[in-house]
Structure 1
Amino acid sequence: MSTSLVRKYNIAGPRYTSYPTVPYWDSTTFSVEKWKSSLLSSFKESNAREGVSLYIHLPFCESLCTFCGCNKRITKQHTVELPYIKAVLKEWHLYLELFDEKPVIKELHLGGGTPTFFSPENLKFLISEILNTSQLASDYEFSFEGHPNNTTREHLQALYDVGFRRVSYGVQDYNETVQKAIHRVQPFENVKRATQMARDIGYTSVGHDIIFGLPFQTLEHVKTTILKTKSLLPDRLAFYSYAHVPWIKGNGQRGFQDSDLPSADLKRTQYETGKQLLAKVGYEEIGMDHFALKTDTLYQSMENGKLHRNFMGYTASKTQAMIGLGVSSISDSWYGFAQNAKDIKSYYAALRANTLPVFRGHILNEEDLIVRQHILNLMCRFITTWDKNNLYFQELPDALIQLKEMETDGLIEINANTIVISEKGKPFVRNVCMAFDVLLKRKQPNTQLFSMTV
């Protein structure tokens, strides 16, 4: 990748797990009643046809990883488990009261925090209670994020027994210096053990998350991590740039100095080298920053045009409605977004009052829906199209003018009513999407809101 292109396009920009992005949600037109109405409409349209997705946020961790940008609560007191699970189930029942039929669950994902902070018994209780009040789609997929240091055989078996077949482990990097800097020390042997246990039990998809651009991380560190990963051959990989956003996450990302981070040029070299190594092993690039073997459902969904992107990242299938349960979780009805309270005290207080713990959101207007579809097309398929009657919006000509320079640089091809991102342009897909982001262009932030695109 050209160093000059990296320098030219390495700017702060969204990762586009949604559009509009969270900083541009309009609170003045949002209300919980409007959110419930949008979800109910979406549910009626799509539950029987494709089902719904559930994301459950389990925020507790025993220690703080300084690279992490997730909502988490650090504690070693496991007495917090059952009260939290009961609160999540209370929230679930508040949603059930909106519907006149049982939800058909297509996808369910446990994220964190550290889901395996919770005991196997409590996790099994949580999922069993949800299953007792819903139906399963014929091709459902349950997944969870596991910490290699504390995911036990009992965790894996308990979740397998209630339908989980996919697990992803946070690896980040195998170098001890890097691990100490990010406060995430986990030997290769722990990852190997956790990976093999999942496969022995019967999990059909094991994923690893690897990060480049971490403090003190060299090119050799990335190479070593990927070569060790090769020996385990996970079914899918997330290989993505560390998002340095300490102004948002506070002290959690101040365990090292900015000067300890690799330069933008080195980060791009880390990515390009890593991508080449992964290709040699047999991994196919999926959208942005994701890779999978051809036997994995993520690759198959890309091949058949069903790859989707939402607040959980890339998923193998789309559901119009996604319900987020737990503190800070975000729900998506396609027509609207709603985010839960970010602190546990407020979350519990809302549920005690028998109200959904939503504290902000956004109802999409017609322009939002059109731009959202363009960005989704670009992020999932690297192509988008329009005509006068379909996906055209008033500021599209301005977006095309803005993209001309990227076309000159060979990153995209602009035709009469189509944009195609070239192989050379794939690392800059976020930059292409930013040209469509009319809200970002209308109101440029006064302070940095997003991580760098490269």
Structure 2
Amino acid sequence: MQPSLVQKYNVPGPRYTSYPTVPYWEEELFTAKDWQNSFLKTFQETNASEGISLYIHLPFCESLCTFCGCHKRITKRHEVENPYIKAVLKEWDLYCQLFPEKPLIKEIHLGGGTPTFFSPENLTTLIQGILAKSNVAPSHEFSFEGHPNNTTKEHLQTLYDLGFRRVSFGVQDYSEKVQKAINRMQPFHNVAKVTFWAKEIGYTSISHDLVFGLPFQTLDDVLDTIDKTNSLHPDRLAFYSYAHVPWIKGNGQRGFNDEDVPKDDVKRQLYEQGKLKLAANGFHEIGMDHFALTNDSMYQSFQKGELHRNFMGYTTTNTQLMIGLGVSSISDSWTAFAQNEKVLEDYYDRLDKNEIPIYRGHLLNEEDLIIRRHILNIMCQFETSWEKPEMQFPEIDEVVSALKEMENDGLLAISANKITVTEKGKPFIRNICMAFDLRLKRKAPQTQLFSMTI
């Protein structure tokens, strides 16, 4: 990659798990009643045909990983498990009371925090409680995030017996120096153990999450981590760029100095060389930050043009309605977003009042929906078209004009009513999406809200 391109395009930008992005939600125009009307309309239109997705946020962690940007509560007191499970099931019950029929569950994802902070018994109570009021789609996909240090064989077997077939393990990097800096001491042995257990039990998709650009991380660290990862043969993996945003995350990302974090061309070399190593090991690039073997469902979904992206990241399941349960979770009805209370005590308080605990949201207008489709197309298929009338919007000529410079730099190709991202342009996918982001164009942030794009 040309060093000048990194310097030119390395600017703050969204990761586009939604459009509009959260800082541009029109919260003042949103009410709980609007959310109810929106999710019920989508439910009635799609439940029987495609079902719904559930994201369940399990926020507790025993220690703080300083690279993490998730909403979490640090504690070693496991007596917090039971009240939280009861709260999530109550929230689900409040939704089920409003649904006109039993929901058809197409997808469940347990995220965090650390889902495996919870005991297998409590996870059983949670999932059985969810499924007791639901029907399960024949081609459902249940997945969870496992911490290699505390995921037991009983966790894996219990969730497998409940219908889970996909698990992702957070690896980050195997260098002890890097692990110490991010407060995530995790030996290779632990990752190997849980990976082999998952294979033995019968999980059909095992993923490892790797991160480049971490403090003190070198190219040798990245290549060694990929070599060790390849020896365990996961089906897919994420290769994330570390988002250094200490102004948002407070002291959690101040356990090291800014100069300890690889930047610009040095950081990009970690990605480019890592990507070459992944390709040599048979991993195909799928969307942004994700790679999969040909046998994995994510690769197959990408090949068919069916890959989707939402607040859970990339998914092979495309349901218009995704209900987020648990503190800080975000729900999506396709025409509206809603986020739950972010403070645990506020979340409990709202449920005690028999209220669905959302505290902010956004209603998508017609323009939002068009731009959302374009950004999803770019993120999931590396191309988008405005040939059809329903994909056109008044500012399209301005967007194309803004993309011309990227075309001159070889990052994309513009043809009649269509753009296609080139191989050279894939690392700049967030920048390309930003050209379509009309809300960002109209109101540039006065302070830094986003991590750097490169």
State the TM bucket, normalised to the shorter chain: over 0.9
C-alpha distance in 2 between matches for 1:34 and 1:375: 25
1:138 match: secondary structure? strand
Deviates more, 1:261-270 or 1:324-333: 261-270
- Opposite residue 226 of structure 1, the aligned amino acid is I
Q: 1:60: which partner in 2?
A: 60
* Deviation string, structure 1 residues 10-62 (Cα, Å, up to 9, x no partner): 00000000000000000121011001111011111111111100000000000
Q: 1:422: which partner in 2?
A: 422
Counterpart check, 1:313 vs 2:313? yes
- Opposite residue 152 of structure 2, the aligned amino acid is T
Q: 2:195: which partner in 1?
A: 195
Q: Write the mapping of 1:225-240 to structure 2, written as runs, cut at 5 A.
A: 225-240=225-240
C-alpha distance in 1 between matches for 2:149 and 2:80: 20
Q: Write the mapping of 1:23-34 to structure 2, written as runs, cut at 5 A.
A: 23-34=23-34
Counterpart check, 1:270 vs 2:270? yes
Counterpart check, 1:384 vs 2:394? no
Q: 1:357: which partner in 2?
A: 357
Counterpart check, 1:247 vs 2:221? no
C-alpha distance in 2 between matches for 1:446 and 1:423: 33
Counterpart check, 1:334 vs 2:308? no
Number of aligned residue pairs: give it. Answer: 454
Q: 2:174: which partner in 1?
A: 174
What TM-score, normalized by structure 2, do the two folds share?
Answer: 0.99
* Deviation string, structure 1 residues 111-165 (Cα, Å, up to 9, x no partner): 0000000000000110011111101111001000000000001111111111011
Deviation at 1:433, TM superposition (A): 0.5
C-alpha distance in 1 between matches for 2:121 and 2:317: 29
* Deviation string, structure 1 residues 395-453 (Cα, Å, up to 9, x no partner): 11111111110011111111221011111111111101001000001000010000000
Instruction: State the identity %.
Output: 68
- Opposite residue 230 of structure 1, the aligned amino acid is N
- Opposite residue 321 of structure 1, the aligned amino acid is L
C-alpha distance in 1 between matches for 2:281 and 2:420: 27
Q: 1:367: which partner in 2?
A: 367
C-alpha distance in 1 between matches for 2:363 and 2:390: 21
Q: 2:9: which partner in 1?
A: 9
2:391 match: secondary structure? coil
Q: 1:444: which partner in 2?
A: 444
Q: 1:300: which partner in 2?
A: 300
Q: 1:185: which partner in 2?
A: 185
1:82 match: secondary structure? helix
C-alpha distance in 2 between matches for 1:408 and 1:285: 24
Q: 1:279: which partner in 2?
A: 279
Counterpart check, 1:222 vs 2:253? no
* Deviation string, structure 1 residues 312-345 (Cα, Å, up to 9, x no partner): 1000120000000000000000000000000100
C-alpha distance in 1 between matches for 2:396 and 2:258: 38
Deviation at 1:222, TM superposition (A): 0.1
1:397 match: secondary structure? helix
* Deviation string, structure 1 residues 233-290 (Cα, Å, up to 9, x no partner): 1000000100111111111111111110012111110001111101111111100110
Segments of 4+ moved more than 3 angstroms:
none
Q: 1:152: which partner in 2?
A: 152
1:390 match: secondary structure? helix
- Opposite residue 333 of structure 1, the aligned amino acid is S
Deviation at 1:388, TM superposition (A): 6.5
Contact 2:387 2:418 in 1 (8 A): no
Deviation at 1:224, TM superposition (A): 0.3
C-alpha distance in 1 between matches for 2:78 and 2:230: 35
Deviation at 1:352, TM superposition (A): 0.4
Q: 1:35: which partner in 2?
A: 35
Q: 2:398: which partner in 1?
A: 398
- Opposite residue 33 of structure 1, the aligned amino acid is K
Q: 1:48: which partner in 2?
A: 48
C-alpha distance in 1 between matches for 2:88 and 2:383: 39
C-alpha distance in 2 between matches for 1:245 and 1:39: 33
Q: 1:209: which partner in 2?
A: 209
Q: Write the mapping of 1:85-100 to structure 2, written as runs, cut at 5 A.
A: 85-100=85-100
- Opposite residue 75 of structure 2, the aligned amino acid is T
Contact 2:407 2:413 in 1 (8 A): yes
Contact 2:288 2:379 in 1 (8 A): yes
* Deviation string, structure 1 residues 69-108 (Cα, Å, up to 9, x no partner): 0000000000000000000000001111111111111110
Structure 2: 5+ residue runs without aligned partners?
none
Structure 1: 5+ residue runs without aligned partners?
none
C-alpha distance in 2 between matches for 1:389 and 1:155: 50
C-alpha distance in 1 between matches for 2:388 and 2:46: 27
Deviation at 1:390, TM superposition (A): 2.1
Deviation at 1:387, TM superposition (A): 3.3
* Deviation string, structure 1 residues 195-243 (Cα, Å, up to 9, x no partner): 0011111111110000000000000000000000110010000001001
What TM-score, normalized by structure 1, do the two folds share?
Answer: 0.99
